[in-house]
Structure 1
Amino acid sequence: MQEVKWGMIGCGDVTEVKSGPAFNKVPNSSLVAVMRRDGAKAADYAFRHGVPKWYTDAEELINDPEVNAIYIATPPAQHEDYCRLALAAGKPVYVEKPMTLNAESGLRMEADSVLYDTKLTVAHYRRAQPMFLKIKALLEQGVIGEVRFATLQMLQPQESDIIANSATNWRLDPAISGGGLFHDLAPHQLDLMVYFFGAFSQSAGLSLNQTGKTRVDDLVTGHIQFKNGVVFTGTWCFSVAEQDKTDICEIIGSRGKISFPVFGNKVVVKREGKEEVFVFDPLEHVQQPMIEKVTAYFLGQAENPCSAAQAILSMELMDSFTRPAEICQ
């Protein structure tokens, strides 16, 4: 393979700016086909983005001889089936986050990648963005000393504007999304914790539907102990007042702390009575740095920027936070 010629399964709103156009802006990469079950919408997307082919059937796109790699951008419920079809066809796969509905499903996807000896990468694209690369570098440089613990608060009103618009709010159908806005946003945040701190030894949490206005839980708390001794505590609530919405992660060390929003562009480092602020320019296409890394990986020029095994860790964490609690008698 000398050029990655992408076929994209699912071309909804999330692909309009975040990912879709970036495939044609990365060296040795081009988007040659898209698929959506609604033919009119598939054709419209292809026309507007200059994509040569469009399909209404995923298997037809996968089996197109010109397509040599697959990007899966459907809701999570369809990730496993499409991924396994593509891997069986020998086409490397770049699949959106969350990787799938749960860790068990992710393990099946990983097993097929091994079985068919075909590459699989998960779109935890913040790993490739300059802001989070800077945070990782600061941690590795010991700027705040030895890391003790990290805290995260993601508090949003019920009508949150932090996610991409969709014609239908499938995120509130647990059979499709896995479990509401938590399953849509937490993969970014939990994957960053794995990216920064590595494997974990134990995790637990609580999840409940406080408002009862939807079929998904709107409050989730979680705790993680990483194998390196770092402890994480997170709270996600999607029913707070507008003035109380918050997106903040703090990493506390022996000499200071690093504070940042996961969905923002400013990093604040406080240590020894001094404050340093790093502000990052917004990216036109937030996935472009990751797509560059995935393309290089598929071409055999780089390591996997986010393997199935790494992504399964964040799936396991979400499962442990949202697993129904045992009732004590």
Structure 2
Amino acid sequence: MTRKVNWGVLSTAQIGTESVIPAMQRGERSAVVAIASRDGAKAKAAAERLGIARPYASYEELLADPAIEAIYNPLPNHLHVPWTLKALEAGKHVLCEKPLALDAAGAQQLAEASQRTGRLVAEAFMVRHHPQWRKAKSLVEAGRIGEVRAVQTIFSYYLTDPANIRNQADIGGGGLYDIGCYAINTARYIFGGEPERVIGLFDNDPVLRTDRMMSGLSAFGGGRHLAFTCATQLVPCQSVEILGIRGRIRIEIPFNAPAELATRIVVDDGRDLAGTGREIIDLPPSNQYTAQGDAFSRAVLGEQPLEWGIADAVANMRVIDAFFRSGRSEVWERP
């Protein structure tokens, strides 16, 4: 019988109950056996709906369960560090939603706790587990579009509800934390390196005080740039273009690829603007949350190394910190 890792989930957050948990339940190496909420009735209702054996009326009770090996933490952003720390100290491995922390110092705390406890921590950037990103990366590495010089990304949605945690400045709301982090993370993935300097332009909501639109420019050295816009009050849009000196790659639904639908990436050799040099590469349906959960579980089981661990998360947070500093200083900042 295939060995599975026993997972517990901190909170009944929508991202968990609607997307991540059902996906992990379909995994080969992941078994979600417990869920906790500060409201026992919510935990019980979620457990019944999702077929989870053990509901807990507190996070502490779940962390005290010796059968739980790994924790998925989808709590609001400001609770990522404290509860991931508690989970590590309780002897659990942790997959934490992005952003892992509110700054690099918080992420470094988790790195030190991971080393001290011998438990794994990873930031839940599920997109890197999707075949479309794997394919794009392999095409870049194979030189299909020549030397890559630019990545251009747009990620936006429209949300003005002040009760939504994404719109609450005091607990880590705003566009850069919520979705700009994806633009940074995926550019680092494609370039295979870290930006040397960044500059950001922020438009903050005067009432909510969150960054409702933010545009960033990152210089990766060697003439390589990331340019992106993220927004929480703009028409819904997702787009990534990877541009090399001999062609370009377009990822059509880069971040929220529907699990039940095939995806495609477009490779264009740039011979003309009409697109006669295009090749469409179709990829089968894939649930990136399932793949992410199983990859982490396999690392817990010692079957394979963790591809992106806590060091990757600290590096991403350093870039986010630099963008926020740039928003205040209005000059280039170094991560």
TM-score by length of 1: 0.88
Matched with 1:183 is 177
What is the alpha-carbon distance in structure 1 between the residues aligned to residue 204 and residue 120 of structure 2? 41
Take 1:91 and 1:157, find their aligned partners in 2: how far apart are those partners? Answer: 36
Q: What is residue 74 of structure 2 aligned with on the other side?
A: 73
Q: Hey, what does 1:271 align to over in structure 2?
A: 269
Q: Read off the aligned partner of 1:278 and give its amino acid letter.
A: I
Q: Which amino acid aligns with 2:280?
A: V
Contiguous gaps of at least 5 residues in structure 1: 160-165
Equivalent residue, structure 1, for 2:200: 206
Whether 1:103 and 2:104 are equivalent positions in the alignment is yes
User: Displacement, 1:322?
Assistant: 2.0
Q: Distance in 2 between matches of 1:134 and 1:327?
A: 37
Partner of 1:169: 164
1:295 maps to a residue whose letter is S
Looking at structure 1, the residues matched to 70 and 134 of structure 2 have their Cα atoms a distance apart, in angstroms, of 26
**Aligned residues of 2:195 and 2:319 also touching (Cα < 8 A):** no
Contact in 1 for aligned 2:33/2:53 (Cα 8 Å): yes
Equivalenced residues, count: 317
Q: How far did 1:207 drift?
A: 4.1
Aligned to 2:305: 303
Does the CA contact (< 8 Å) of 1:18 and 1:286 recur in 2?
Answer: no
Task: Please name the residue that 1:319 is paired with.
Answer: 321
Match for 1:271: what amino acid? D
Identity between Structure 1 and Structure 2 (%)? 28
CA-to-aligned-CA distance 1:278-320 (integer Å, 9 cap, x gap): 344554x440011111111010011113211112222122221
**1:46 alignment partner, SS class:** helix
Q: Flag the 1:40–1:307 CA change in 2: closer, same or farther, 3 A.
A: same
Q: Is the 8 A contact 2:148 2:243 kept in 1?
A: yes
How far the C-alpha of 1:75 sits from its partner, in A, is 1.3
For residues 96 and 11 of structure 1, the distance between their equivalents in structure 2, rounded to whole angstroms, comes to 13
> Would the aligned equivalents of 2:204 and 2:210 in 1 still touch at CA under 8 Å?
no
Q: 2:244 aligns with which of 240, 253, 260?
A: 253
Deviation of the 1:182 alpha carbon: 2.8
Decide whether the 8 Å contact of 1:198 with 1:226 is kept in 2.
no
Q: What residue is the counterpart of 1:112 in the other structure?
A: 113
1:54 and 1:179 mapped to 2: Cα distance? 28
Contact 1:124 1:306 in 2 (8 A): no
Deviation at 1:203, TM superposition (A): 2.6
Task: Structure 2: state its 5+ residue gaps.
Answer: 258-262, 272-276
Answer with 272-281 or 67-76: which moved more.
272-281
The 10-residue stretch of structure 1 (286-295 or 178-187) with the greater mean CA deviation from structure 2: 178-187
What one-letter code is carried by the residue in structure 1 that aligns with 2:164?
Answer: N
After superposition, the Cα gap between the structure-2 partners of 1:281 and 1:186, relative to the gap in structure 1 and judged at 3 Å, is: farther
Which residue of the partner structure matches residue 87 of structure 1? 88
Query: Bigger shift: 104-113 or 62-71?
Result: 62-71
Q: Give the deviation of 1:173 after TM superposition.
A: 0.9
Q: RMSD of aligned C-alpha atoms? A: 2.3
